[in-house]
Structure 1
Amino acid sequence: MNALFPDVIVNGETIAPAAIAAEAQNHSGPRGKPGIAWRKAAQALTIRALLLQEAARRRLTAEAQELAPGRVETEEEALIRALLEEAVEMPEITADHVRAEWARDPDRFRSAPLWDASHILIACDPHDAAESAAAKARAEALIARLDGDAKGFATLAARESDCGSKSAGGALGQLGPGDSVPEFEAALRALKAEEITPEPVQTRHGWHVIRLNAVAPGEVLPFETVAPKITQALEKAAWARASRDFIAGLAARSEIAGATLDPI
């Protein structure tokens, strides 16, 4: 028994604390509360034990499959896959289901937005606290100088920016999702056309003053275009629900100590 946590026993099979500690590295928890990661790990290994025990009860065998180049299933992963393929019954996803999901809110299904943006970069090493603070202060001073007025943005960018786009007045042209680092994209999504970020935006490159020149939000896509994507999403959700129900059924028929399958 661990000094802090009870032994985890699934139908008489004890899960080693060392295995739980290793699994805990794959789970997150609030800082200063390692017990949450431990409980999540114990839950994951409890589910794994339930599935492997059921596979053994059914005397299943499975051949390992390649998951990706250089990545082949372990024997246990193959057994769990074979069990779920045999035991989990997938509800049928009909054309009516797909159309109903689309009709619930067609506005969710749009082509990707496009942002026409400009920026002023104050480059720095984000890991150097003093250098980063100085760069941020410089960016804040530029925002104060602009005072929300975008007319002088290009002139200021040409003089102050540390990015090669300074030769074009800071213009970056049209950007779509994934074309910029996540922090930069998040700032673009929060801006309206012709707005400037009220605070500098930090990325791995330094601090940015960003202007959104224009935005094309994307068009609502017709049902025929998005139907395959909706079908895939509904099938994935249905599979997840059916798998959870199957595991819950195994747990209800089992003796489990030291772990819970309740949400953590």
Structure 2
Amino acid sequence: MGISVNDVEITDEAVERELPHHANAPAPVKAAVEALVLREVLLQAARNKVAMAQEELRALETSQAEDAESLIEDALIDRLIEMEVQSPVPTDEECETYYRKNLDQFRNGDLVEASHILFQVTPNVPLDALRGKAEEILQQALAQPAQFEELARTYSNCTSAEVGGSLGQLTKGQTVPEFERVIFSLEAGEISPKLVETRFGLHIVRVERSAEGRTLPFDMIKDQLAHYLAEQVRARALKQYLKILVGQANIQGVELEGAKTPLVQ
């Protein structure tokens, strides 16, 4: 069965054109199809609800002739969202409450110097065997910390093996979250007692040195925080609106989460 929204077909050619925008998604084809379906749902709702002045249409049609239709569609969708998706602006009190509950997010300058031994997951190596070997080397490292660099040179699948596993100085945001949580929780000279698992594989992690930063004052980040919270609220409101539109549409060939009523959580 083909994919359609209220009898409007989502063609294979359209999916192929959309696919490069989702190359990094876990399931690129699925992500491309869902994006096209949601765009069509929005576009149909916009055509039913949004009236654009003739002068606006003429300006869009003449701005870039080859992309005129796409520009008009984008403008219709933007106008629809502006009309239908309402989200409150956070107050100073709400911003300050969020700030005080999440002080770690507003630290600046935290620094660690870390090393690791990476056991990379590959199709040719059974995960159980890889984990067993990684655990064996972890116990060696914990028992004889002075051998960490030698173990990294021998066993690590990372290019850092050439320098004894050293990753140099790292600040927050430079590594994947699960790795970051560990390195910023260890004391200088400490080796994590457990393997750290990321999408890159299994890691034995040691922190060489660490330096604490400072928490930025609320007045310094108040405006940026208000913008961030407003965007979060708007994103939730848009998601809610899309669920309602999806629930009201006749969508064939793909399953999307929708709601038949505005009373949806």
| TM bracket, shorter-chain basis | 0.5 to 0.7
SS, match of residue 129 in structure 1: coil
Contact 1:191 1:197 in 2 (8 A): no
Structure 2 segments unaligned to the other structure (5+ residues): 61-66
Contact 1:118 1:172 in 2 (8 A): yes
Counterpart check, 1:153 vs 2:145 = no
Which one of 15, 39, 44 corresponds to residue 49 of structure 1? 44
Which one of 223, 229, 239 corresponds to residue 224 of structure 2? 229
Contact 2:112 2:169 in 1 (8 A): yes
Counterpart check, 1:195 vs 2:191 = yes
Deviation at 1:232, TM superposition (A): 1.0
How many percent of aligned residue pairs carry the same amino acid? 22
Q: Tell me how many residue pairs correspond in the alignment.
A: 240
* Whole-angstrom CA distance in 1 between matches of 2:155 and 2:237: 57
* Whole-angstrom CA distance in 1 between matches of 2:160 and 2:240: 54
Instruction: Specify whether residues 160 and 105 from structure 1 end up closer, same or farther in structure 2 by C-alpha distance, changes over 3 A only.
Output: closer
Indicate the larger mover: 149-158 or 240-249.
Answer: 240-249
* Whole-angstrom CA distance in 1 between matches of 2:243 and 2:134: 54
Structure 1 vs Structure 2 CA RMSD: 5.2
Counterpart check, 1:22 vs 2:15 = yes
Aligned amino acid, residue 171 of structure 1: S
Structure 1 segments unaligned to the other structure (5+ residues): 65-70
SS, match of residue 214 in structure 2: coil
Deviation at 1:186, TM superposition (A): 4.7
After superposition, what is the alpha-carbon deviation per residue over 1:32-70, rounded to whole angstroms, capped at 9, x for unaligned? xx8x99788645532331023222x45573555xxxxxx
> Taking structure 2 as the reference length, what is the TM-score of the superposition?
0.60
Instruction: Specify whether residues 130 and 92 from structure 1 end up closer, same or farther in structure 2 by C-alpha distance, changes over 3 A only.
Output: closer
Contact 1:191 1:212 in 2 (8 A): no
* Whole-angstrom CA distance in 2 between matches of 1:95 and 1:183: 29
